Chain A
């Protein structure tokens, strides 16, 4: 007797579980798609950024480049920071082939033929911002071809370890 009762609740329960599972699955897919769209940031080299021209103006992107030390200008009164970065390749194999990150950054800074990008950032000057550091910037490029960075991450190659953890600039 009891067996029969169990069997009935079983089949009824099963559908509920499938529906519940499907709902969660649908919610997961929906959240992934919408949030990926809303938060996607293209990761560009400076050359790539310029080659896209108007299509990337005002879009949220991530760009990396080698910091040119002489270009750094900082006004502590209004916390405005201006500097220029030179194009470096993003591909790790390419970086290795050219002798590692430190060599690549050095070449980029000393070669006047590289594409350069002016950057504006409002906030305290990060300590790691110095000549031949690698800057990874999140922000957008304006119509004036100046990059307005909201976030600035810096890496400095050291002697043996290629990159050391750097502080996140907010």
Chain B
């Protein structure tokens, strides 16, 4: 009954979105406002319809209706209530519905805004949003339908179908697989929705960009309208990435947080192009430049969002996140190809309208440095993209070798992968360059900066930052790349903090405010600028953690008897005891008690554990971690002897500075919230008025 309701409203939502897209298109073409209004209502209607669908799935999950294979996959009898709700995005079919539901929520929110000044955009924004939504609904209805049930024929064969095949009875398993235990972690409960929110909200700026291209209203109105959407999309995407990294560190038990798994890389790619977009739209707003480039970036970001969803959901690439191989692949590929080609042809039609109002005069002007930032982000994106598609490419190119025997040696169709080292050794230059630019750009001005003016402002911070090198040398550091990394971080921190200090002191003198108040007013007045600087500081702090981890992580492993010890650097750990017990939620837990000593001093007890989930027959390794600002001691209970709990195998990691990754992430989020915080309408008007003045300047 509930399933029928959910399935019915899913079908209706699909039909409504097809109708809405058609009505928007026809209404705009024939100039029929009533039809466009009807399309608008259709777009609004998809949200309640999909809410019903999503809620009915949650109902099936909470009440453990195991006759639905989707439920069976992610729910088991012992799973608590809150996990059953989050199981909505624990499997493929449910997560696609969740995606569509978020999409419809965002689309509805956009529809409800005041459109008076921008009515010509409306039908096209509706069209783009509803076509995207319809595509995901097609996947849910025809390929990954959560509402199919299990049916048993009299001879015991089990088939799946939405409707009852004749001569069969409903088959209801008594218990399900349960959600993958690795996913039962707070980070994993929030991480997918955040990532999806980021993905989905990038559709909105894209829809406006397409509307601008179609209508020919190619000034920067679309950018101003979608500025906050872009920031929000970026906020969620960044949050999703940080939470994913934290989850990996807490649960995956290999001492790290990022392994360039194709799925991780796939969610990083739209972030890279989106970040480039976020910076380059500022050049368009201030100087009327890079209009074509901004279009390219948003088109790329949109298709990378779809590509990211595709990679996570199709299993084309073997990865930790390997989901089922399914028929989704070709459909995604067709949709990405179609939207990419259609967007680019629209862009080429308007190419000449999107010429720059001005030309760049100096590499050291702010716009010149922003362009550099864009190129570096794109470079990092290209490295990632290359690494992700390389295995697919080398396999596919085998066809060349088959057709042309002379090239068979090169294009032999053998699948070749590149490991994490490829990504590390390429992207490091891009990230280092970006970190350095963060330190240079704040002192540059629009248009007229030269090497001389920028150099003059940087000479003191540069000299100060060099002091870090002798400090590191005295501390015993000998790694040159690490020293360069730490130097860049120091330099950028000095410049950024100085920006705050300089401006706050000037205000303090001019307005007779105390420094803190001056600082507060300053940052509130120009949220994007100072929010941006806070984000930069966060990124640099994260950089400290990443440098510490990549250059200075050490590890050891060993099997020791009770009372035995393992040493790693300054640390010694002793194995005190091990207990094995069953929990009420059907886990078998082995928990070791470890005493940690640093330079002979007792610093605390750690409890690495292994949880064996009986229902899904899987083990999750939870590390015991002692975390300080200086370093993490990270211990994994790798194995233990079942008969005599006297011996156990441990892996011990020493991760210097890694906490700064999470602290930096926190600062990063605060900066984003600061920048994206809703400002009063008054300020919006002021910004809009400033447009003609900017034009004159160019």
Q: Which residues of A contact B (CB under 8 A)?
A: 6, 9-10, 13-14, 16-17, 20-21, 24, 27-28, 31-32, 35-36, 38-44, 48, 62, 76-77, 79, 90, 92, 95-96, 123-125, 127-128, 136, 138, 153, 155, 158-170
Known: A43-B417, A96-B325. A38 touches B182 (CB 8 A): no
Given A36-B386, A96-B325, A124-B639: A43 in contact with B414 (beta carbons within 8 A): yes
A31→B383 contact, CB < 8 A: yes
Question: Chain A: interface secondary structure?
Answer: mixed
**A43 and B386 contact, Cβ closer than 8 Å, known pairs A62-B417, A76-B647:** no
Contact A167 B621 (CB under 8 A): yes
Q: Inside 8 A of B390's CB, which chain A residues have their CB? A: 36
A32 touches B621 (CB 8 A): no
Cβ of B359 under 8 Å from chain A:
yes
Q: Which of B72, B321, B414, B639 meets A160, CB within 8 Å?
A: B72
Q: How many residues of B contact A (CB 8 A)?
A: 66
**CB contact between B415 and one of A35, A42, A125, A155 (< 8 Å): that residue:** A42
Taken together as a complex, chains A and B put the C-alpha atoms of A9 and B417 apart, in Å, by 47
Q: B318 within 8 Å of A by Cβ?
A: yes
Task: List 13 additional A-B contacts (Cβ < 8 Å) besides A41-B416, A164-B180.
Answer: A10-B361, A17-B371, A31-B426, A32-B383, A38-B421, A38-B425, A39-B422, A39-B425, A62-B417, A76-B639, A124-B557, A161-B177, A167-B254
A155 touches B322 (CB 8 A): yes
Question: Whole-angstrom distance from the CB of A65 to the nearest CB of chain B?
Answer: 14
Query: Which of these, B177, B180, B639, contacts A125 with CB under 8 Å?
Result: B639
What are 23 contact pairs spanning A and B, CB under 8 A?
A13-B359, A20-B363, A28-B382, A31-B383, A31-B429, A32-B386, A39-B422, A41-B418, A48-B414, A76-B641, A95-B325, A123-B557, A127-B612, A127-B619, A159-B73, A160-B177, A161-B91, A162-B325, A163-B323, A164-B618, A165-B322, A166-B320, A167-B252
- Known contacts: A43-B415, A161-B73. The answer to whether A124 contacts B324 by CB under 8 A is no
Task: Give bound CA distance, A169 to B259, whole Å.
Answer: 12
Cβ B425 vs Cβ A168 within 8 A: no
When chains A and B are docked, how far (Å) is the Cα of A24 from the Cα of B381? 13
**Contacting residue for A10 out of B253, B359, B616, CB 8 A:** B359
Q: A35 touching B425 by the CB < 8 A rule?
A: yes
- B77 lies within 8 A of chain A by Cβ: no
- Whether the Cβ atoms of A42 and B414 lie closer than 8 Å is yes
- The answer, yes or no, to whether B360 is at the interface (CB within 8 Å) is yes
Q: Which of B371, B379, B612, B649 contacts A79 (CB 8 A)?
A: B649
Contact A13 B379 (CB under 8 A): no
> B426: which of A35, A90, A163 is its contact (CB, 8 Å)?
A35
Complex interface: chain A residues within 8 A of B517 (CB): none
Residue of B nearest to A44 (CB): B414
- Chain A residues within 8 Å of B69, by CB: 160
Contact present for B422 and A35 (CB under 8 Å): yes
B375 contacts the other chain (CB 8 A): yes
Do B315 and A41 touch (CB < 8 A)? no
The 8 A CB mask of B322-341 against A (1 = contact, 0 = none) is: 11110000000000000000
Contact A39 B421 (CB under 8 A): yes
Does B419 reach chain A (CB closer than 8 Å)?
yes
The CA-CA distance from A76 to B559 in the complex, in Å, is 6
Q: Judge whether A165 and B419 touch: CB under 8 Å.
A: no
- Contact among B375, B419, B426, B621 for A41, CB-based, below 8 A: B419
Which residues of chain A come closer than 8 Å to B362, judged between CB atoms?
9, 13
Chain B residues with Cβ under 8 A from A24's Cβ?
375-376, 379
Query: Which one of B315, B429, B638 contacts A27 once the chains associate, using CB atoms below 8 Å?
Result: B429
Residues of B within 8 A of A95 (CB): 325
CB–CB B253/A39 < 8 A? no
Q: Are B419 and A39 in contact, CB atoms less than 8 angstroms apart?
A: yes
Contact A40 B318, beta carbon cutoff 8 Å: no
Cα-based distance from A77 to B429 in the complex (angstroms): 42
A25 to B425 alpha-carbon distance, docked (Å): 17
Cβ–Cβ contact A158 & B557, under 8 A: no
Is B255 part of the contact surface with A, judged by Cβ < 8 Å? yes
- With CB as the reference atom, state the residue of chain B lying closest to A23: B375
**How many Å lie between the Cα of A168 and that of B420 in the bound state?**
13
Instruction: Specify which chain A residues have a CB less than 8 angstroms from the CB of B416 in the assembled complex.
Output: 40-43
User: In the bound complex, do residue B421 and residue A163 qualify as a contact, i.e. CB atoms below 8 Å apart?
Assistant: no
Q: Which of B638-675 contact A (CB under 8 A)?
A: 638-639, 641, 647, 649, 651
Contacts of B371 in A (CB 8 A): 17
| B391 interface residue (CB < 8 Å to A) | yes
Q: How far is the CA of A77 from the CA of B558 in the complex (A)?
A: 8
Complex interface: chain B residues within 8 A of A17 (CB): 360, 363, 368, 371
- Chain A residue with the shortest CB-CB distance to B379: A28
Q: Which chain B positions have C-beta within 8 A of A96?
A: 325
Does residue B442 face the partner (Cβ distance < 8 Å to A)? no
Contact A92 B325 (CB under 8 A): yes
Q: Does B372 contact A (CB under 8 A)?
A: yes
**Closest residue to B248 on the A side, CB-wise?**
A168
- In whole angstroms, how far apart are the Cα atoms of A131 and B349 in the complex? 59
Q: Report the separation of the CA atoms of residues A169 and B649 in the bound assembly, to the nearest whole angstrom.
A: 14
Q: Mark B341-369, 1 if CB is under 8 A from A, else 0.
A: 00000000000000000011111000010
Asked if B649 and A124 sit within 8 Å, CB to CB, the answer is: yes
Interface residues of B in 437-464 (CB under 8 A from A): none
Question: In the docked arrangement, what's the CA distance between A40 and B418, Å?
Answer: 5
Please give the distance in Å from B691's CB to the nearest CB on chain A. Answer: 22
Least CB distance from B36 to A in Å reads 43
Is B360 touching A21 in the complex (CB atoms < 8 A)?
A: no
Closest to A127 in B: B619
A128 to chain B, nearest CB (A): 8
Q: How far is the CA of A158 from the CA of B181 in the complex (A)?
A: 14
Q: Are B318 and A136 in contact (CB under 8 A)?
A: yes
Bound complex: CA of A138 vs CA of B359, how far in Å? 51
A-B pairs with the 8 shortest C-beta distances? A124-B638, A43-B415, A127-B619, A39-B422, A170-B254, A162-B324, A163-B322, A39-B418
B421 (CB) vs chain A CBs: closest residue: A39
Q: In chain B, residues 299-329, which have Cβ atoms closer than 8 Å to a Cβ of chain A? A: 315, 318, 320-325
* B320 touching A165, Cβ below 8 Å: yes
A166 to B620, CA, bound (A): 10
Contact indicator B182/A167 (Cβ below 8 Å): yes
Complex Cα distance, B321 from A166, in Å, reads 8
Say how far A155's CB is from chain B's closest CB, in angstroms. Answer: 6
Which residue from chain A places its CB closest to the CB of B641 in the assembled complex?
A: A76
Residues of A within 8 A of B183 (CB): 165
Chain B positions 504 through 522: 1 when the CB is less than 8 Å from some CB of chain A, otherwise 0 = 0000000000000000000
CA distance A73 to B377 in the complex (A): 48
- Considering the complex, give the chain A residue whose CB is closest to the CB of B368: A17
Knowing A42-B414, A43-B415 are in contact, say whether A160-B73 is a contact too (CB < 8 A).
Answer: yes
Cα(A6)–Cα(B360), bound, Å:
10
Q: Do residues B419 and A168 form an inter-chain contact, with CB atoms below 8 A?
A: no
Query: Which residues from A are CB-within-8-Å of B639?
Result: 76, 124-125
Q: Is the CB of A36 within 8 A of B379?
A: no
CA gap between A116 and B429 in the complex, in Å:
43
Nearest-CB residue, chain B, relative to A21: B375
Nearest residue (CB) in B for A166 is: B320
Contacts of A21 in B (CB 8 A): 375
